[in-house]
Amino acid sequence: MLRLILALLLLAVVKVACASSTLTIDGKAIEYEVKGDGPIPVLFDAGALMGMAGWDSVWEQLPSNITAIRFSRLGEGESDACTGKRSRQDYVAEVDKVLTALDIERPFVYVGHSFGGITARQFSAAHRGEVSAMLLLDPYNPHDVDILKQLDPVDGPRQIQAVKQADYEAGAGKWCFLDIIWDKTESLGYEAIGDLPVTLIAAAKVPAEPRNLFESAEGRKLWGQYQSDWVQAFPRGRAVLAEQSSHYVQDDVPELVVEELKRLLQRL
């Protein structure tokens, strides 16, 4: 997970444009799409900079018993730009307003990838009873930096600082989420969220040529362990290690994502 946000931006640029509509919330346009009319509402919240196009690879494979909602947060996709530094609470409020404007019934299932996993957890804690289950795809985890420090106590901190500096330089004036992803306080867990069915798919693929220690076999093992430890604290938590997937789980193993979503829906 510890990688340049610039890589996310480049991937987002090549995503195929998707059909969307627009909401106006607090004077700003937010793009969205609602698909299907099944009895179970499911919200899809993508990773940073991906916008709602981040779900293209699974969008046509979704089960028929759901109403699927996806959107682009401010500053992403075709939504209006964001301004200043946004807080976790700002992103939670944005989701709440989108759901309200679309008249989406609650509780709903929250599917979050990467940065979307932060908002999924924050929303579930702030709006108890409004989320019926969570499916998290390689979500943000503050222990990414701990892996580098553990594997290289001498040079690890320098590498972390270099990535942080590059992120802030690349995102100056346009990426409103940087303070959140570099705030390495513990993620909200079972005590804050409560007893929900939660499935977490962790990216465990070791690249043929790892670019850094985080991508090494030991780094991937530690990442999977940190992710598993978080979700297994939930009585109904389920950890899935995707050994054939990079961070972009829905792109690399879309069938697995759909399979785990169906499995989660059966647990409601």
Per residue in 16-65, pLDDT (tens digit) is: 345 679 999 999 999 999 999 999 999 999 999 999 999 999 999 999 99
Distance CA 171, CA 123 (A): 25
Q: What's the predicted TM-score (pTM) here?
A: 0.93
Q: Containing domain of residue 172, as a range?
A: 5-265
* Tokens 């499911």 belong to residue: 42
When divided into structural domains, the chain yields a total of 1
Q: Which residues contact 216 (CB under 8 A, 6 or more apart)?
A: 151, 206, 210
Contact 76, 28 (CB under 8 A): no
Q: Which residues contact 82 (CB under 8 A, 6 or more apart)?
A: 73, 74, 75, 174, 176
Per residue in 62-93, pLDDT (tens digit) is: 999 999 999 999 999 999 999 999 999 999 99
Task: Provide the CATH number for the domain around residue 96.
Answer: 3.40.50.1820
